[in-house]
Amino acid sequence: MGGLAALARADGHTVTGSDANVYPPMSTQLEALGIELTEGYGAEALDPAPDLVLVGNAMSRGNPAVEHMLNHRLPFTSGPRWLGENYLSGRRVLAVAGTHGKTTTASMLAWILEHAGLNPGFLIGGIPNNFGVSARAGSDLFVVEADEYDTAFFDKRAKFVHYRPQVVVLNNLEFDHADIYPDLKAIQTQFHHLVRTIPGNGTIVTNAQDANLREVMDWGCWSQTKSFGLDDTAAADWQVRLLEPGGRQLRFVHGDEPAGDLNWQLNGRHNALNALAAVAAAQAAGVAPDQAVTALGTFSGVKRRLELLADIEGIRVYDDFAHHPTAIRMTLEGLRKSVGGARILVALEPASNTMRGGHHVHELAPALMPADHVWLRTSEAMDWDPHEVLNKLDGAGRARRQVDNLLDDIDQVVRPGDHVVFMSNKGFGHAPRRFVERLQSRYA
C-alpha cells in the first residue's frame, strides 16, 4: 500500500493514508514523499471525503474507517485493481510470484533492467537498496511483486490476478496464509488462475525443482515456458552453479552455453536461484544474459532481507523479514555457510498469521538449527507453546515476552565475531535498531 501511495503521488494525486503500528522503512519513505499518514483507523481520516479510497487487504468489516466509507457511500476499490487499471494497462508487465523470494527477485529484475538503461517502473514489497524506494512509475516496462495473498475483504481472489503480466516468474510454492487458504491445493488454484492470464506469446519462468509448481503447470499452460534450477537439475533450461559453498561466487548456464560468472555480496542457494530467475526473466524482456549477470555484480540487496545494520567491534547485526520456516532455514543456512564457525544468535518474532496460528510449528526447530542461540518473542496471539520448538534446540533457546528482556539476554552473551539476526515480518518493537544503539553505547 505504501508503494501504491508513492505511485499515486508521482501521478499528481493528493494522497493520505491510515495505518497502525507504523515502522521503517515504509514509514520513512512515505514521510520523505510528503504523504500524510494517520495512525489508527478513525473515521476522521476520511474527512473531508476523498475522491477514491484504496482499501488494503488487512482491512475488514467492523473497522471504523471501513464502516464510515461504506455508510457514506464513498467510492472505493482495492489496491491491486487500481494498480492493474491505472499503471499496468498498456505496459509490458514482468511479475514475480512465489511463497519465498518475491521481493528479492523482483528487486534484482528491476535493477537488471535499470542497468540495461530501460528505466523500468516497479512496485516491490520492500525497498531495494539500489533504488531507495519501493515504487516508481518508470517507462513502459513495469516489474511488480505478485502476491498470492487475497485482494481485499470484498475480493478474495489473489492479488496477482489483477496484474495481467506478459512475463511471470514462479519462484516456489508452499502452504502459507492459513488465515486465507484452507490447504495447499487452494493456493495452487490461485497460481493456476495466474497462469491462465499469461498470453500465448508471454513467458512463464518456473522453478524446475518445485513439485507443487510442476503440478500447477500440469493443470494447463498456454504460454512459452522456461525452467530454472541448480546445476543438479539436468532438465532445467537455466542453471546456476555455486562455485563456493556460501554462494558468493556463481556460474550461470543457459542450455549448454555459459551465461556469465558472478561475484557478489549476497549468499545462499536461495539467492542463487533468485538471481537465476531474474536473469531468465530479463532475457524475456530483451536483456542479454551476460549483461544481466554483470548488473547483479552491483546489486546491493533489499532492506530487511538479511540487511546488515551495523558492524560494531566485530559484532554484525542484521534485520531480516521472516514469515515462513523455509525462508528462515534458507537464510540461516546461507549465513552459516558464509560465516563458517562464527556464532549466530537469532531473535525470532513469529508474527505472521500462519506462524502465530502454529501451522508451521514442527518446521521451526529444524529451520533454526544453523543458529547457536535462539530467542523467541512470544505473544498472546500465539496459539502454541514456544517450548515445542525450544526443547528441540538442545538448550540453545529461550522464550521472552518483552523485547527489553530479550535484548538484555542477548546483551549478556554477545561478543566480537558474533552475527546477530533479528527475524520478523512485523516491527519487533524496533528491536534491531535498539540493539544497535546498545552496542554503540557499550563501545562508545
> d(Cα 86, Cα 370) in Å, to the nearest integer?
45
Residue pair 252/293 in contact by the 8 Å Cβ criterion: yes
- Per CATH, the number for 81-296 is 3.40.1190.10
Residue 234's pLDDT band (cuts 50, 70, 90): low
The 10s digit of each residue's pLDDT in 308-337 is 999 999 999 999 988 788 889 889 998 998
CATH 3.90.190.20 location in the chain: 307-442
CATH 3.40.50.720 location in the chain: 2-74
Domain 2-74: CATH architecture, name and number where available: 3-Layer(aba) Sandwich (3.40)
Fold of 307-442: Protein-Tyrosine Phosphatase; Chain A (3.90.190)
Q: Which residues contact 132 (CB under 8 A, 6 or more apart)?
A: none
> d(Cα 38, Cα 18) in Å, to the nearest integer?
5
Please give the mean pLDDT across all residues of the chain. 92
Mean pLDDT of 343-366: 85
pLDDT > 90? residue 23: no
pLDDT of residue 31: 85
Percent of the chain with pLDDT over 90: 68
Which range of 111-115, 130-134, 147-151, 427-431 scores highest in mean pLDDT? It is: 111-115
pLDDT of residue 233: 66
The 10s digit of each residue's pLDDT in 296-306 is 999 998 988 88
> d(Cα 96, Cα 302) in Å, to the nearest integer?
15
> d(Cα 288, Cα 285) in Å, to the nearest integer?
9
pLDDT > 80? residue 210: yes
pLDDT of residue 433: 94
Residue with cell 494525486: 13
Output the DSSP codes for 333-389: HHHHHHHTTS-EEEEE---SHHHHTTTTHHHHHHHHTT-SEEEEE--TT--S-THHH
CATH 3.40.1190.10 location in the chain: 81-296
Beta strands in 165-237 (DSSP E): 167-170, 203-207, 224-230
